[in-house]
């Protein structure tokens, strides 16, 4: 299960809506593998409505900031603008770390849908998203 603060959810949904009709992307970080307390919006270097590529400079900036806060990057977020919030074959091929959370913000319907998955050896495993109000930054 991914535990994420409501502030992070608000930020990633706002980024998805702000980048529409292009896919947005970003990175998650936390003090533990399953807690996301920071969202790093990134530029979609692909500038596409169908695929995303996290800008390498944004990735490095996120990594350095996460380290400064004793956090680790533990997930990636992107949006699906016109399809279900489920990993595409391209998403599965791009999955770099089986320990990461792969979060998709679906914009196909009236309200944004936030879904999370683990992708391990090409297998897609849905996981619960627990949105918490409390500060989980301490671990």
Nearest to 136 by CA among 7, 67, 35, 62: 35
- Sorted by where each begins, the domain ranges of the chain are 2-132
Mapped onto helix, strand or coil, the DSSP state of residue 34 is coil
- Name the DSSP letter for residue 29: E
Q: Distance of CA 42 to CAs 25, 110, 139, Å? A: 6, 24, 25
What tens-digit pLDDT sequence spans the chain (139 residues)? Answer: 999 999 999 999 999 999 999 999 999 999 999 999 999 999 999 999 999 999 999 999 999 999 999 999 999 999 999 999 999 999 999 998 999 999 999 999 989 999 999 999 999 999 999 999 866 655 4
CATH superfamily, domain 2-132, is Cytidine Deaminase, domain 2 (3.40.140.10)
What does pTM read for this prediction?
0.94
């Amino acid at each position: 299960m991914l535990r994420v603060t409501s502030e992070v959810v608000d930020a990633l949904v706002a980024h998805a809506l702000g980048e529409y009709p292009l896919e947005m992307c970003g990175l998650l970080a936390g003090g533990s593998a399953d807690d996301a307390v920071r969202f790093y919006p990134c530029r979609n270097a692909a500038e596409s409505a169908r695929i995303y590529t996290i800008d390498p400079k944004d990735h490095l900036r996120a990594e350095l900031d996460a380290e400064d806060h004793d956090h680790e990057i533990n997930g990636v977020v992107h949006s699906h603008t016109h399809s279900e919030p489920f990993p595409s074959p391209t998403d599965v091929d791009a999955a770099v770390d089986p320990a990461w959370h792969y979060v998709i913000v679906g914009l196909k319907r009236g309200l944004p849908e936030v879904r999370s998955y683990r992708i391990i050896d090409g297998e897609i495993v849905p996981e619960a998203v627990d949105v918490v109000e409390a500060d989980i930054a301490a671990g």
